[in-house]
Chain A
Amino acid sequence: MMKKTRAAAIAALGLGVALAASACAGGSSGSSGGGSSSGGNVTLTFWTNATPGPGLTFFQNAIKSFDAAHPGVTIKMQAIQNEDYDGKLQTALASNSAPDIFFQRGGGKMLAMVNANQVAPLTLTAADQANVSAAALAGETLNGKIYAIPMDQQPEGIYYSKDLFKQAGITSTPTTIPELEADVAKLKAINVAPIAVGAKDAWPAAHWYYNFALRECSQATMNAAGTTLKFTDPCWTKAGDDLAAFLKVNPFQPGFLTTAAQVGAGSSAGLVANHKAGMELMGAWDPGTIATLTANQKPLPDLGWFPFPAVPGGQGDPSAMMGGIDGYSLSQNAPKEAFEFLEFLLTTPQQKAYATAFITLPVNKAAQSVVTDSVSVSALQALNKAGYTMQFLDTQYGQNVGNALNAGVVNLMAGKGTPAGIVSAATEAAAKG
C-alpha cells in the first residue's frame, strides 16, 4: 500500500518536472526568432494585427513576391488579434523574442518604445521619400528621427446618410457648427437620431472633443502638449465649452452612453447603416464597418462625407484634419532585409493593393488612383488640401492621458462633469504615468 503511494508520488513528480521542462523548452524555442545576422539565409519575423480576409491576404501576397525577389530571405508572418496585440508585443519586446517587423500604433506607445531602446530609427532614401506623403511621415517622427513607415492615413470626418438629409430638407452639408446645429434640428423633425455616437467605448465620444480642440488650438499648442503633457492653454477648456454648448441641442441618440461603436445593429455604426441616425463622426474605416451592418451586408449606397465643421474664432486651421496612421516599425536588432521589406511595401503597386485590401487611403500619392468610391474620394480630397494633420489625441498623447480625456468627455456628456474637468483629468492622469 505504502509502496504504491510512493510510486504514484514519484510518477506525479516526474510528470510535473517533465511538464515544467517542456514549458521551458517551448519558451526558449520561441525566442530564437529574431536573428541579427544578415547575408546568407535570413528569416524575418513579422507581426500584424490584420484580420483574416483581404487584409491578411494582401500581406501573404506581399511576402510571397518579396521572398521571390530576394532569395535567401524568408518572412514568417504572425497575425495577432487586435485587442491582444499590445500585450503580446510588449512581452516580446521585453524578452529576446521581439519580431523584426511589427505593426506600430505610434504616438505615446512609440515614444515609450523609443525611450526603452526597443525600436530602430529608420533612414529613408530619396526614392522612399517620394513614395510617402510628408504629412504621414511627420506623424511617425520623434525628435527628428523616423521610427515607423506609415502605410495609410485614416482621416476623420462626419459620415452621413444622403437620403435622410434629403428627407429632412438639408440641401448642402454644414461647414460651421451653427449650420450643423440647424441640421440637427431638421433631422429631429423627421424623427431620426441626428447624430449617432458610441459613448460606451468612450473614444468615439471623445473624438468630438478632439475635433473641437483641433479647431480651437493652434498646431504649435497641440504639438507642445505632446511632450509637456500640460494642458494650460485656454483653448483646451474652450474646446470643452464648445462641446458643452453643442450638447445643449441634444444632438445624439437616446441612451448614447451605453451604445457601442462598431458591434451590432444597435451600435452607432449600425444606427447609420439602418437609417436610424443621420450622421456619425468617425475615422476612414467607417464605410467598411457600416457595410457589415446593413441589412444586405453591402456598402450603404447613400453614404456621404464632410469634414468636421469650422468653429468661429478658433486658433486652429479650419482645413486641419484629425486622423489615424497605421505604420510598421523595426525592432532594435532587425537585419537590413527587414527595412527592405518596408521599402517594398511603400512601392506604388503594393500601396495600391494595400489600399484596396484595407479600403483605406494610401500614403503613396501615385497609388491614390485606386480610391474611387465617392465617399473616400471626398475624404482624400480634403486630406490633400489639409493645412496639417494631427493624430487622434489618445494616440498622440498616449493612452494614459487619452483615457483620462475620454473619460472626462463622457462625464461631460452624461451631465456629470465640466469642460474644466476634462482638462484637469488629463493633467492628473499625466501624474500616474
Chain B
Amino acid sequence: MSHTLGTAALGRGRRGAPQVGDAADTASPTPRPRKRRGRGRLRLEIALLTGPAIIVFVGLVIFPVGLAAYYGFYKWQGYGPPTDWVGLGNYKIIFTDPAFQQALEHNGLIVVLSLVIQGPLAIGLALLLNQKIRGRALIRVLIFVPYVISEVIVGTGFSLMLQVTGAVNDALHNIGLGFLATDWLANPNIALWTLMGIITWKYIGFAVILMLAGLQSIPGELSEAARIDGASYWQVQRHITLPLLGPTIRIWAFLSIIGSLQLFDLVYIIWGQYISGTAGTSTMATYMALNGRLAGNYGYGSAVAVVMFLISLIVALCYQRFVLRRDLRGAVTQGVN
C-alpha cells in the first residue's frame, strides 16, 4: 500500500514541478496585449484553480508534518493536551535505541537488495518480453499480476504458506527436498531473505512495466543502424538500449528506494505487530507503529515519524541532486527554450 501510494504521489510530484513552470512561462506572454484586466483575472484564475489543491495539500500534508514535529518535543500519551516538554529527548532515545538502529539497518539492506535483485531481473525480463515471442501478452500479465494484488492478501497468503507446517514445507517434503524445509518466517537468519523474496515477487511487475515502457520509446532505427554496422545482439543492448533506458532506470530506482524506506504493510501483516524485531525484519515504519501507536507513546511516535520523514527527504534530495540531475536538466532547458 505504502509503496503504491508513495510511487503515485511521488510520480505526480516529480512531473508536476516542471509543468507548473511551463504553465507560468507560456501563460505570462499571452495577457500582455490587454494589460489592465489581464493581470488581475489571471491571478484570480490561478487562485481559484490551485486553491482547492493547495488547501488539501496544506491541510493533509504540511499541517500534519508540522503537528508531528510539535508533538515530537513532548512525552505525550495522547490523553489531554501535551504538557511534558522534553526538547530533543525523544530524538536522543531514538538514535541510541538498538531496536531503531536495527530497523534502520534492515531498511538499508532492503533498499540495496531491492535495487540489486530487482533491477537486473526487471531489465532482463523487459528485454525478453520486448521480443516477439509466443504467449508474450500472457507472460506480461502474469508478471504484473502480483503488483495488482493487495499487500494484505499477499501478506496473509505468504504467512500461511510459509508456516513451519505450511504448504511450502509440505511441498518440499513431497518432492524429496525435505532437507530444504525450514522455519522461513521466524528464523532470524532467513526471515529477511524470505521478505526480499516476497518483495521481489510483488514489485518486479511494476519494474518490468516501467522498463518495457522505456524500451518502447527507444527508436528502432538506432539498433537497426547498429546491426548494419555489425553489432551483435548483446552489443546493441549494452551500448544502445541500456544507455537510452538510463532515465527510466533512474526513476525506477528512485521509486524503489523511497518504497523500501517506507516499507510497512507486508512486514506488519506477515510478522504481526510485535515480532518483526525478533525475526529481524523490522523497519522504521513498524518501529514507529509499535513504539508510537501500539505503546500509546504518541509524542515518541511523532518523533520517529519526523526522523523517518527527514531520512526519506535527505535521500530523495541527494538522489535528485546527484543522480537525476542530468535527466531533469534536459527537461527544464527544453521547457525554457
Contact code string A95-116 (vs B, CB < 8 Å = 1, else 0)? 0000000000000110011011
Contact with B along A200-218 (1 / 0, CB 8 A): 1110000000000000000
Bound CA–CA A336/B279 (angstroms): 51
1/0 per position for B48-77, CB-CB distance to A under 8 A? 110110010000000000000000000101
Surface stretch bound by A, among B123-131, B159-167, B223-231: B159-167
Whether B186 lies near A414 (C-beta < 8 A) is yes
| Cβ contact within 8 Å between B165 and A254 | yes
Residues in A neighbouring B163, C-beta threshold 8 A: 255, 258-259, 266
Q: Which residues of B are found within 8 Å of A410, using beta-carbon distances?
A: 274-275, 278
Considering only CB atoms and an 8 Å cut-off, how many residues of chain B contact the other chain? 39
Question: In the complex, are the beta carbons of A12 and B52 less than 8 A apart?
Answer: yes
Report the bound CA distance from A201 to B49 in whole Å.
49
Listed residue (A86, A94, A400) with the most chain B CB atoms within 10 angstroms of its CB: A400
Name the residue of chain A whose CB is nearest to the CB of B76.
A433
B52–A403 contact, CB under 8 A?
no
Q: Does B272 contact A (CB under 8 A)?
A: yes
- Of residues 411 to 433 in A, which have CB atoms within 8 Å of B's CB atoms? 411, 414, 416, 428-429, 431-433
Residue of B nearest to A93 (CB): B79
CA distance A399 to B79 in the complex (A): 14
> In whole angstroms, how far apart are the Cα atoms of A154 and B314 in the complex?
50
Are the CB atoms of A112 and B278 closer together than 8 Å?
Answer: no
Query: Most chain-B CB neighbours within 10 Å: which of A16, A116, A403, A432?
Result: A432
Is A224 interfacial (CB 8 A cutoff)?
no
B294 within 8 A of partner (CB): yes
Q: Are A432 and B277 in contact, CB atoms less than 8 angstroms apart?
A: no
Name B162's closest neighbour in chain A (CB-CB). A258
Contact of A399 among B75, B97, B294, B300 (CB under 8 A): B294
The docked-state distance in angstroms from the alpha carbon of A403 to that of B271 is 15
B51 near A13: Cβ-Cβ < 8 Å: yes
In the bound assembly, the distance between CA atoms of A116 and B160 in angstroms comes to 43
B297 within 8 A of A: yes
Of A86, A117, A414, the contact of B80 (CB 8 Å cutoff): A117
B80 touches A9 (CB 8 A): no
| Contacts known (A112-B296, A429-B295); A403 close to B290, Cβ less than 8 A | yes
Give the residue of B97, B278, B296 whose beta carbon is less than 8 angstroms from that of A398.
B296
B51 touching A258 by the CB < 8 A rule? no
**Complex: A93 Cα to B296 Cα, angstroms:** 15
Given contacts A112-B79, A433-B77, contact A254 B164 (CB under 8 A): yes
| Chain A residues, CB < 8 A from B293 | 87
Q: How far is the CB of A361 from chain B (nearest CB, A)?
A: 28
In the complex, chain B residues whose CB is within 8 Å of the CB of A118: 79-80
Residue in B51, B80, B278, B295 whose CB lies within 8 Å of A403: B295
Contact B93 A431 (CB under 8 A): yes
User: Which chain A residue has the least Cβ–Cβ distance from B97?
Assistant: A428
Q: Is B45 an interface residue (CB 8 A)?
A: yes
Residues of A within 8 A of B183 (CB): 254-255, 257-258
Most chain A beta carbons < 10 A, residue from B75, B159, B271, B294:
B294
Query: Which residue of B has the minimal Cβ distance to A433?
Result: B297
* CA A6 to CA B47, docked complex, whole Å: 12
Q: Is the CB of A257 within 8 A of B45?
A: no
Are B79 and A94 touching (Cβ within 8 A)?
A: yes
Contacts of A116 in B (CB 8 A): 79-80
Instruction: Please determine whether A200 and B275 come into contact, CB atoms closer than 8 angstroms.
Output: yes
Interface residues of B in 62-120 (CB under 8 A from A): 75, 77-80, 90, 93, 97
CB of B53, distance to nearest CB on chain A (Å): 10
Q: Which of B55, B80, B97, B188 has the most CB of A within 10 A?
A: B80
B273 contacts across to A, CB distance below 8 A: 201-202
- Expressed in whole angstroms, the minimum distance between the Cβ of A402 and any Cβ of chain B is 8
Instruction: Indicate if the CB atoms of A202 and B274 lie closer than 8 Å.
Output: yes
- Expressed in whole angstroms, the minimum distance between the Cβ of A54 and any Cβ of chain B is 28
Residue in B45, B188, B277 whose beta carbon sits within 8 Å of that of A9 in the complex: B45
Q: Specify the chain A residue showing the minimal Cβ separation from B188.
A: A416
Cβ contact of B278, chosen from A10, A260, A414, cutoff 8 A: A414
Q: How far is the CA of A264 from the CA of B199 in the complex (A)?
A: 25
Question: How far, in Å, is B104 (CB) from chain A's closest CB?
Answer: 17
Give the Cβ gap from A422 to chain B, nearest Cβ, in Å.
Answer: 12
Set A16, A115, A404: member contacting B79, Cβ < 8 A:
A115
Pick 24 A–B contacts, CB within 8 A, sort by A: A12-B52, A13-B51, A13-B52, A90-B78, A94-B78, A94-B80, A112-B296, A116-B80, A117-B80, A200-B275, A254-B165, A254-B183, A257-B185, A258-B164, A258-B271, A266-B165, A400-B77, A400-B297, A404-B295, A407-B290, A410-B274, A429-B295, A432-B90, A433-B297
**Chain A to chain B: the 8 pairs with minimum beta-carbon distance, closest first:** A116-B80, A255-B164, A202-B274, A257-B186, A116-B79, A400-B295, A112-B79, A112-B77
Q: Which residues of A contact B (CB under 8 A)?
A: 6, 9-10, 12-13, 16, 86-87, 90, 93-94, 108-109, 112-113, 115-118, 199-202, 254-255, 257-260, 266, 398-400, 403-404, 406-407, 410-411, 414, 416, 428-429, 431-433
A sample of 5 more A-B contacts (CB under 8 A), given A118-B79, A403-B290, is A399-B295, A410-B274, A428-B93, A432-B75, A433-B297
